[in-house]
Amino acid sequence: MLYLGYNTWITYIYSKVNKITMNRIVYFVMVILFATSCKQAENPKEQFLKWVQKGVIIDNVACKKDASQSYCLYLPVNYDITRSYPIIYAFDPHGKGRIPVALMKKSAERLGFIIVGSNNSKNGLSEVEINVIASGLLSDTKLKLSIDTNRIYTAGFSGGARVAGMVAQGIRGVKGVIACSAGCQSDGKPIGFDFICIAGTQDMNYFEVKQFSNYLKSSNQPNQLLVFKGKHQWPPESTLAEAIDLLNLYAMKGSLIEKNKSFVDEYLQNSSRKITKLRNSNSADSLAKAYNLLSQNMELLDGLTDIKELKSSMDELANNAILKKYLDEQTLLESYESDKQKEFVSSFSIKPEAWWNGEIAKLTETSKSVKSNLKSDVSMRLMGFISLNCYGYVNSALHYQDWKTAKYFASIYQKVDPENPDCWYALACIQANTGKPNDALASVKNALKFGYTDYSKLKNDPLLIRLRGLDEFNAIIKR
C-alpha cells in the first residue's frame, strides 16, 4: 500500500472514510428508529386510545396481564390523554360491570369522570380472589388510562359495596366511596376517605347502612346518607348522580380541585328548590326529607358558600310539630326493627314453619298499610331480612346435601320472597335430589321466569345432574 500513487492513496482513504461515515449514519438511523418504536410501545395510553371508542360503553376490556380478567368502561367524549381524569371503580355483586357504568354514564359525561365496572368481582369469592381482581383492575387501568391519581373513587352495591369499602381501605389514595345497600368494615379507626351511603327505604340492609352513617357522624368522619324509595337494588340514576355531585363538592372542600362557584351555586339552587317543594307539601314524610337535605347541605357546603340561610331554615323546621312526631315514630320503629332482626336470627332452625308462616303473614299485611309509610317500609325490610338469611342458610344446607334442613329454609324462603329466582333455583336443587324431577323442572322454569340468568351454572351444577335426562331441561341449558 506504501507504493500506491498519491491519487490512488487519497481515493483509497476517502472510500474508507466514506464507508465508515455511511456505517455510522446507518447505525444512528437504526438507533433513532428503534428508540422511536420503543417510545411508541412504551406509550400504552396512546395505543389504547386508538382502539377504544369515547362516549360509548365498552362492555369488555381485557386486562393485559390476565385476559381472563375484564372490565366495562366509559370514557367521556372529551377524553384526552394529555389531561387526567377522576375515576370510579364500580363493583356489582354478580360481576355485571355494565350495570353501574350505564347508571353513571350521564354523570361521567357531565363532570368528566372515567367509569370502570368489574366483570369479575362477585359475591362468593374469597378475600384473596377479590384482592387479585382489584389489583389487576387498578394496574391495567393505570397503564391504559389517563387517571388523576388524587381522585380515585370506588362504588358498589350490596356485596359489591363491601368490596368497594375493602378496596378503599386496602389501597392508599382512594378519596371516596359510594356504598349502596351495605356498610363498611370498621376497626374503630378513621376510614380516611369520604363516604356516601345509599339505601332504599325497603332495603333489608337499610338499618345497617343508617347505623354505619350514624357511626361515621359520631366520629366526625365526612359522610352523607342518601335514601330513595325502593328495595335492595342499585339506586336509580338520579340518586347516583347526586352521589357523584357530592364527591365533586368534597373534592373542592379538600382542595383536590379548585372551587367551582357556579357548580356550588347550581347545586345549592337545585337543593333549595327541592326543599321548598317538600316543605310546601307539609306531609310528615316530605318534611323529614327536607330536614335531611338541609342537614346534608349544612355539612357539605360549609366552607364553600354562605350557609346562614340554610341554618335558619333548619332551625325553623326542627321545631315543626309534625316533623317531631314523625322522627319520634321513626326512632321507635327502627328500635322495633332491630329487636325483630335479633328475634328472627335466634329463631332459625328452632321455630317451626307454622310460626314463620304467621310472622310472614303479619309482616305482609303491615307492608300493605296505607296509613304509615314508615311501618310499611319496616315490614318490607324485615321480610327482605328473612329472605337474605334464608338464602345463606339454604345454600349452606345444599352444600352439605342436608336435604331436610334445605327444605325447611326453602319453605320459609318461598313464603317470604315468592318471586326471588334464587329461591326457585334452590328448590329445584332440592327436588332434583329427592325424587321429584318434574317438580324440579317446574322450579327451574320459575327461576327463569323471575329473572335467573346463570345458564352456565344451570348446565354444570352437579345438584341438577338428575335433570339431564329430561329433554325439556336439556333444551333450556342449550340456550
pLDDT of 72-125, one tens digit each? Answer: 999 999 999 999 999 999 999 999 999 999 999 999 999 999 999 999 999 988
**CATH superfamily membership of 46-258:** Alpha/Beta hydrolase fold, catalytic domain (3.40.50.1820)
pLDDT at 127 over 60: yes
Q: What is the pLDDT of residues 375-392, one digit of tens each?
A: 999 999 999 999 999 999
CA 422 to chain centre: 21
Extended strands (E) in 66-190:
70-74, 85-91, 114-118, 147-157, 174-180
pLDDT at 452 over 70: yes
Residues 6 or more apart in contact with residue 41 via CB below 8 angstroms: 47
Question: For position 113, what pLDDT does the model report?
Answer: 97
Question: For position 370, what pLDDT does the model report?
Answer: 64
Contact (Cβ atoms closer than 8 angstroms) between residue 338 and residue 344: no
pLDDT at 18 over 60: no
Q: What is the pLDDT of residues 297-353, one digit of tens each?
A: 998 999 999 999 999 999 999 999 999 999 999 999 999 999 999 999 999 999 999
Q: What is the pLDDT of residues 136-157, one digit of tens each?
A: 999 999 999 999 999 999 999 9
CA dist., res. 180 & res. 234, Å (int): 7
Q: What is the pLDDT of residues 403-451, one digit of tens each?
A: 999 999 999 999 999 999 999 999 999 999 999 999 999 999 999 999 9
Smallest Cα–Cα separation from 385: which of 204, 127, 208?
204
Predicted confidence band of residue 396 (pLDDT cuts 50, 70, 90): very high
Q: What pTM was estimated for this model as a whole?
A: 0.85
Question: For position 27, what pLDDT does the model report?
Answer: 42
Residue 233's SS3 state is coil
Question: For position 221, what pLDDT does the model report?
Answer: 85
Residue 390 C-alpha cell reads as 334464608
Q: What is the pLDDT of residues 322-334, one digit of tens each?
A: 999 999 999 999 9
Scored b (16 or more CB within 10 A) or e, 33-43 reads eeeeeeeeeee
pLDDT at 22 over 90: no
CA dist., res. 204 & res. 458, Å (int): 28
Question: For position 87, what pLDDT does the model report?
Answer: 97
Query: β-strand 85-91 against 147-157: which pairing, if any?
Result: parallel
Please state which of the four CATH numbers 2.20.25.10, 1.20.1050.40, 3.40.50.2300, 1.25.40.10 is assigned to the domain occupying 345-477. Answer: 1.25.40.10
pLDDT at 3 over 70: no
For the chain, domain boundaries? 1-42, 46-258, 259-319, 345-477
Question: For position 8, what pLDDT does the model report?
Answer: 43
Long-range Cβ contact pairs of 179-187 (< 8 A, separation 24 or more): 179/155, 179/209, 180/155, 180/156, 180/234, 180/235, 181/157, 181/205, 181/209, 181/232, 181/233, 182/156, 182/157, 182/158, 182/208, 182/209, 183/208, 183/209, 183/211, 183/212, 184/212, 186/212, 186/215
pLDDT at 34 over 50: no
Over range 441-463, report the average pLDDT: 93
Predicted confidence band of residue 12 (pLDDT cuts 50, 70, 90): very low
CA 257 to chain centre: 24
Residue 226's SS3 state is strand
Q: What is the pLDDT of residues 171-218, one digit of tens each?
A: 888 999 999 999 887 766 778 899 999 999 999 999 999 999 999 988
Predicted confidence band of residue 42 (pLDDT cuts 50, 70, 90): low
Give the number of residues written for the chain. Answer: 479
pLDDT at 71 over 70: yes
